[in-house]
Amino acid sequence: MSLTEKVQPIFRVLPEIPKPGKRLSLGERLFWTGLVLVAYLVMAQVPLFGIPYLPRAAGEYLTFLRLITASNRGTLMELGIGPLVTSGLIWQLLVGSKIVELDTSTPEGRATFTGLEKLFTIIFTVVEALAYIMGGAYGHLSTNAALMVFMQLFLATMLVMLMDEMLQKGWGIGSGVSLFIAAGVAQRIFWQLFSPIVLKQAGNLPIGVIPALFVALGKGLSLGDWSALNAVIFRSFYPSLIGLATTVGLFLLLLYLDNIQVEIPVSMTKYGGMRSKIPLKFLYVSVIPVIIIGALYSNIFIFSQLIWARLHTQPDNWFYNNFFKYIANYNVTAYNEGRGFIPLPGTLVYYLTSPRGVQAIFTDPLRVLIYSALFLALSVLFSIAWVEAAGMDPWSQARQISKAGLQIPGFRGSPRAMALVLKRYIPALTILSGLLVGLIAIIGNLLNVLSSGMGLLLLVEILIQYQNIIAQERALEAYPLLRKLVKP
């Protein structure tokens, strides 16, 4: 019995969104996309019923990872898209690496792949929700309160899964995963720019860098005290002018890098040898390594808190002392979200948390070194793994070029010959792009960019994707005959 036959009975009971009866216009798809976005933003602000009030300040040590999972502390979006991303990445790697034999080029194979993603999303939702509750993320809860919180987290994540499926089946544009990540990052950048909330820890200045600048200038001009202005320029744990300038600089750099391409000349044998070019992007793996690292780290923190809740009563436990040692935090006197767990120095989870601010290089150089080395190593490793799993390696690309009736001038039309040419470029682009996106994420955090280095990378890439999708849809509406040339 094949894998498809084994799982079909389970797929029949999974919730599913039907495709629209006809192809919707761009305006209609934008409407449904906007409706889904509003639903997500509302859910990200609705607090979980049955848990103690969790005061939220400017951020926490997990905030930068929350951007990748589009989650929001203490709300219906506590899990965000974490289960979806984890499930999707796992099955993409399993199928792409041929560990699981599944032909996704057929409708049946694609349906099976989608069903497996959905099934494992439900499993990860259950496991992560239980880890949050049993790990004490909301303090001690009664049995009824814990059950109530679990049901809220489960149903909210199921709704997110269906909204993502709705967009991908033609009701909207793009995917829910990309849309929710971009919305979360943009929301955080807006908050860090314009938040009027004044905190004592921020030097009695607003959190937002723009209002903080005006307040600091007002103090300087009226009182002759320019210390507040210096604080706004250089402050590390809150949005600063240095961070704002770095954000703009990195944003422009990412736009520039996204347009750099290595062009491979090809000829079309069916059309008398007409020549064209196949572009290989310099950022060949895009932001995939950052997403995988973020998903991996998020799950490590979620389950390590569950382990901590069980082992912190055993202070002599070697595993606890070296890997997952936290200290419970129940106040907002620091730059965190209030109730939560702070990793202690010397443990694995401490070195997996991103250092923030240039001064971290001098105050805690070992942490910066270990975090950066591990992040870069994982970024390159996941880049190589993703290229192999996603069919972006030289052999797979050569077979696709050959099937399209193309060949590289001066070489035979066999996939083997073309793969040898592509091997000059693709492995180098894979490693360089993995290193580059990793460096940008690390440097962005050290220079205190708005949201985070990871968040800015994701936002730029997703905005470019949406720009391309909308441009294509407008062209198809203006010239309907082009639909015959576009793969459905």
Q: What is the pLDDT of residues 267-318, one digit of tens each?
A: 766 655 667 777 888 888 888 888 888 888 877 887 777 777 666 666 666 6
- Tokens standing for residue 70: 């589009």
Q: How confident is the model at residue 411 (pLDDT cuts 50, 70, 90)?
A: low
For the full predicted model, state whether its pTM sits above 0.85. no
Instruction: Please write the tens of the pLDDT for every residue from 121-155.
Output: 999 999 989 888 887 778 788 889 999 999 999 99
Inter-axis angle of helices 176-194 and 143-166, nearest 10: 110
Sheet of strand 406-407, all strands in order from the earlier edge strand to the far edge:
274-281, 261-268, 406-407
Amino acid 91: pLDDT: 86
Amino acid 330: pLDDT: 42
Do the Cβ atoms of 109 and 98 come closer than 8 Å?
no
Instruction: Kindly report the length of the chain.
Output: 488
**Among candidate residues 341, 360, 346, 368, the one with its CA nearest the CA of residue 237:** 360
Beta strands, E only, 146-272: 198-199, 205-206, 261-268
For the chain, percent of residues with pLDDT exceeding 90: 17
- Distance (Å, rounded) from C-alpha 223 to C-alpha 210? 20
Amino acid 109: pLDDT: 79
Sequence-ordered list of residues with C-beta below 8 angstroms from that of 216, at least 6 positions apart, any chain = 205, 226, 228, 229, 231, 232
Read off the amino acid at residue 475: A
Q: How confident is the model at residue 341 (pLDDT cuts 50, 70, 90)?
A: low
**Among candidate residues 396, 434, 157, the one with its CA nearest the CA of residue 291:** 434
**Among candidate residues 408, 428, 404, the one with its CA nearest the CA of residue 418:** 408
Average pLDDT over residues 443-467: 85
Average pLDDT over residues 14-27: 86
Amino acid 59: pLDDT: 39
Amino acid 310: pLDDT: 66
Half-sphere exposure of 360 (CA within 13 A, CB side): 23
Amino acid 340: pLDDT: 53
Amino acid 336: pLDDT: 38
Do the Cβ atoms of 269 and 243 come closer than 8 Å?
no
